[in-house]
Structure 1
Amino acid sequence: MITEKALRIRPLIVALFAVVTIWSGTSVTAKADGLVNQIKQRGEIIVGTEADFEPFAFRVDGKILGYDKDILDLVAEKLGVKVTLVDLPFQGLLPGLLSKKFDLKGSSTTITPERAAKFAFTRPTGTGVTMILARLKDDSIKEPKDLNGKVVATQLASSPQPKAERFGERLKAEGGAGFELKLFSSFPECNVALASGQVDAIAVPSTTAALLMKKLPDTFKIIGTIENPVYLAWVVRPEDGDLRDFINAQIGELADSGKLKELQMKWFGYEMELPAHGYLPEGAK
């Protein structure tokens, strides 16, 4: 027999069940609407890249190859989708990500405090330090301090740009003339400018420098480095944490299995020490 007390409690139980059901349904919907699920439903992950940054990404007979592309293919395989690449100049990649032209900036990007305050970075995919290269037969430049009064080139909006600017100011603070900094839209343009004598030196990532020395050992020389090494990673929008978490898990698996080392040896000829934690600056998304 149902008591009067049970009759009074029953509506409360029904109401509570309804609230739990609504909350549960909302949670499932939110999860289902995450970017990872959208990518799976779409059947493709759209990735912004700069196919002018060998060996990370570059074109051979119209096809984009490289270290980033190899990792992207493995991530897409885990997602069960295809990779669609959007090739843009480096300067257009972060704005393109914000305007949702693609899901991910899958072009290895230097983690800086300024960028980390606006964007969400994945686990590091590589490391780099800014190197200064000059022409092999230019005896007037033997070390970085010899850049006083010279013309130096680097890529616009790249991580070497502010480092080169700071180094130029440091030379002036030490009583030197500093140097003129010319900015080009890509590192290959910087390389051509140096080889043709338009500039006296270039500031480029260590991976770019290693590739140049491998290809053109009789043309360029490394005269030194400026500032400390940095970590490179991919970038997502801050609200797309589910995609970052998924990619981080895949990078972790590749590191643990030795596959990441294999890809580094394939494209760079050396292994990079990449941290799983502690790589983001204070205030990062």
Structure 2
Amino acid sequence: MKLVTRWKSCALMLAMCAASAYAHADDLANVRKAGELVVGTEMQFAPFDFLDNGQQAGLNKELFTEIGKELGVKVRFIDLPWPSVLPGLEAHKFDMVGGPLTVTKARMDRYAYTLPIADATDALLKRSGDGSIRQSSDIAGKTVGAGKSTAQYEQLKAWAATLPQPPEIREYVDFNQAYSDLAAGRIVAVANSVTNIAYVAKQRPDTFSVVQPAFGSKVYYAYCMRKDADSKTLLDAFNAALLKISRDGRLAALQKKWLGVAMETPASLPTPNY
């Protein structure tokens, strides 16, 4: 009886050790074991991620397909409201975030960023023909919109505070709601990256136009992961795949297709200004 009990005890300890080893395996090993990279995103962020007749479309879908080929895994997206995406990453609901996100100092302290994939400098979208908004500073004293929990909102808020009369800033759960209010005249402008709003203006030139020049500091878009030792191998493998895709022209082709122009992106992560 004692031998049986001791054998069961040893078996239990071995099982616990195996489970512990798996729990602490690095993220790249877990991704390869599962055969898929799980990405949290918000599919209301054209041209990166959006729904076309109920199906995912945009730069993210095609770029992550190429990343998956390089890593030898499939890619599965989870669509969430943006305010839920970063908390979902921290709760280990998925492997990484495919927003993409603007690279900021505050976020770099909390998350590990991939290499940049596109320009994310902030600018304003206005209604076409609105003569009251000729330059960015013309939003002083007016009502404008931005995405809730976004870097664009934070940069708009900081910049707006420098105007003679700060505008009222409305926060929106997703940018499509902000664009609808802009088209309806309930706000005079929406702050977002010049990349995003140029795409929106291109799709609806009779309704929207971009205010030039952009008001924001030079920043970039990138994807992010948890900032811990387990994510380091996945981050390194992702960046190696992204560099290969950039150098062989696949990234530029996708940028041109979805953003309208190929953009130079740095081969290392620059330190943001804010």
User: TM-score with structure 1 length normalisation?
Assistant: 0.83
Q: What is the match of residue 202 of structure 1?
A: 190
Following superposition, the deviation at residue 92 of structure 1 comes to 1.2
Specify the alignment match of 2:120 in structure 1. Answer: 128
Residues 1:86 and 2:78 aligned together: yes
Deviates more, 1:108-117 or 1:218-227: 218-227
Verify the 8 A CA contact 1:131 1:203 in the aligned structure 2: yes
RMSD: 1.7
Deviation at 1:281, TM superposition (A): 5.0
Which residue type is aligned with residue 220 of structure 1?
A: F
Q: Tell me the residue number matched to 1:177.
A: 165
Aligned to 2:39: 47
Q: Which whole-Å CA distance do the structure 1 matches of 2:271 and 2:223 have between them? A: 13
Larger Cα-atom Rg: 1
Q: Aligned partners of 2:161 and 2:203: how far apart in 1?
A: 32
Of the three residues 48, 63, 71, the one matched with 1:56 is 48
TM-score, reference length from structure 2: 0.86
Where does residue 256 of structure 2 map in the other structure?
265
Is residue 41–residue 80 contact of structure 2 (8 Å, CA) maintained in 1? yes
Aligned partner of 1:234 among 183, 200, 223? 223
Structure 2 counterpart of 1:213, which letter? Answer: A
Amino acid at match of 1:247: F
Query: Given that residues 57 and 68 in structure 1 are in contact (C-alpha distance below 8 angstroms), is that contact kept between their aligned partners in structure 2?
Result: yes
Counterpart residue type for residue 227 of structure 1: G
Q: Check conservation: 2:115, 2:269, Cα contact below 8 A.
A: no
What SS does the corresponding residue of 1:100 show, helix, strand or coil?
coil
Decide which moves more: 273-282 or 229-238: 273-282
Mapped partners of 2:208, 2:53: distance in 1 = 27
Where does 1:240-255 land on structure 2 (aligned, <5 Å)? 240-255=231-246
How many matched pairs?
249
- Aligned-pair identity (%): 32
> Take 2:263 and 2:129, find their aligned partners in 1: how far apart are those partners?
31
Q: Deviations over 1:95-146 (max 9, x none)?
A: 1101000011122111100000011001111112111122223222211222
**Residue correspondence of structure 1 range 17-36 to structure 2 within 5 A:** 33-36=25-28
User: Does 1:164 find its partner at 2:156?
Assistant: yes
Question: Any gaps of 5 or more consecutive residues in structure 2?
Answer: 1-20
Structure 2 vs 1, CA of residues 146 and 92 (structure 1 numbering), >3 Å: closer, same or farther? same
Q: Residues 209-260 of structure 1: CA distance to partner in whole angstroms, max 9, x if unpaired?
A: 1112211111122223212121111111112011100000001101111111
Work out the CA distance in 2 between the residues paired with 1:73 and 1:136: 36
Matched, 1:279 2:267: no
Q: Distance in 1 between the 2:129 and 2:255 partners?
A: 31
Counterpart contact for 1:40–1:81, Cα < 8 Å? yes
1:61 to partner: Cα distance: 2.5
Compute the displacement of 1:201 (Å). 1.3
Match of 2:101 among 109, 116, 124: 109
Moved over 4 A (4+): none
How big is each residue's C-alpha offset from its partner over 1:161-188, in whole Å with a ceiling of 9 and x where there is no partner? 11211122100xxxx2221111101111
Cα distance in 2 between the residues matched to 1:275 and 1:117: 20
Equivalence for 1:154: 146
> Structure 1 counterpart of 2:175, which letter?
F
DSSP-derived class of the 2:92 partner? coil
Structure 1 unaligned runs (5+)? Answer: 1-28
